[in-house]
Amino acid sequence: MGGAAGTGQALRLQAFAQIFPFQPTSLRFSERVKAMQKTKVAIVGMGTVGSGVAQLLLDHGDRTARHAGRVLWLEKVVVRDKSKARLADLPEDVLTDNLQDVLDDPDITVVAQLIGGLEPARSIMLQLLEAGKDIVTANKALLAEHGPELFEKARQLGRSIAFEASVAGGIPIITNISQCLSANQLSSLEGILNGTSNFIVTQMDRLGMPYDQAVKIAQEKGYAEADPTMDVDGTDAAQKLAILAHLAFGAHVSWRDIPRVGIDQLDPADLQYARELGYRIKLLATAHLDQAGLELHVAPTLVRAGLPLAEVQDAFNAIAVVGDAVGPVFYHGLGAGQMPTASAVVADIIDTAVGRTKLTFQTLELFSSAGPPRVRLRAFDELPGRYYFRLHVADSPGVLAKITGALGEQGISIASVIQHEPDGRGDGTTVPLVVMTHEAPEGAAGRAATAIEGLPEVCGNVVRLRVKA
């Protein structure tokens, strides 16, 4: 059903294992724990994450039982092909290639649905809900696309869906926003939500490596898929931001409506110039709430060096949250990989088994479209920001005045200008120019960039990046 991990998944597993080695114990269940009440659990999908979940349930049986107050008994694992080798050591009678074995068993009450993609994952989730199962999932794409439908069905049937592992892997951001920070009005959420893109940017920054070469290394190490588009173009981060924006701010927003710019147009020169200016560049998912409304976007952003987000390296994720009572809070950890994600799934299984998930699910009305949105989404063009412009210009008098004029026509003032020595680009007669601006609306900055590109003294495209306030 879910299939065994493919070559890409195996490489990804090896890569994350180097960062986060997991040493399973030989412990299954002690005699004291065996006397506890059982909650029977099933897993659908035995890929990288599913294998990690099974291993944790089997090898940490005593530990999870003490936390849950009951034994989490792995009753069934649904796979597509029973004959394939598995990453977890499973008893033969646990494996099945028939989903109906789970649907028809009333004693199985919690199911970890760990198939990726949209279909058949969506159809399987609906079948499980109809069969009276509470669900745990790590599928952020499914929730971002079909969350309202699935959550409404769960509410109608008195069931619950837990999804901690769908965003930021081992970082418990869903629980922290929905429970630990529930007394706060959140005003800001900024995060590095995609480990693949952060690894690529780190390679470019640390080694001066071209984008294509950094992507190739990420693929060789297992961080990036053969087709890395969703990671590098901001789609993955936008899907996660849509989920977090719903939880944190009650925003009714599709990930498709979140403006996003990827890292595929970044150049090592931008990372070098950012360093000279005292910044680091990160693919930042941003949500800011003020009296004007909610600001949402994903884009490469200059972050002041020394800030926690600026120092997040390699495949790690991080999220910075600001609440009116708690103040700033920072979360950092591995956002993907077998065991970090499996850890989040098992935590959700425990919460579901003891009833905590259902209570939260019912009170928060997650993904509910009933009633008006709690916040107004701000139009992207009206969002204020400071900007970094990089362009190549003819080394001739009067050029800077024309650029200043193009910015001034849009009401944008210059904070600083840095001119560098020729870098060998263009026809050899142009020089790179970096302009930092004061705050201006996004739309005005975009129009200014277009006007500057049209100047005869400007060679090629203008690179424009946001600067974190």
Residues flagged as binding site for NADP(+): 44-51
Structure tokens at 112: 């970890």
Q: How many CB atoms lie within 10 A of CB 108?
A: 21
Q: In what order do the strands lie in the sheet with 108-113?
A: 95-96, 71-78, 38-44, 108-113, 134-137, 161-162
Give the CA distances from residue 374 to residues 190, 268, 429, in Å, rounded to whole numbers and listed in that order. 20, 41, 54
Structure tokens at 458: 């400007």
Q: Provide the annotated binding site for L-homoserine.
A: 225
Phi, psi of 293 (to 5 degrees): 130, -165
Q: Provide the annotated binding site for NADPH.
A: 140
Structure tokens at 452: 């500057």
**Cα separation of 388 and 390, whole Å?**
7
Q: Is 76 a catalytic residue?
A: no
Structure tokens at 108: 């199985």
**166: Cβ contacts below 8 Å, ≥ 6 apart:** 137, 138, 139, 140, 143, 174, 240, 243
Q: Provide the annotated binding site.
A: 44-51, 140, 225
Sign of CA dihedral 242, 192, 299, 323: positive
Candidate list 240, 282, 358, 468, residue with the active-site label: 240
Q: Are 197 and 263 in contact (CB under 8 A)?
A: yes
Q: Tell me which residues are annotated as active site.
A: 240
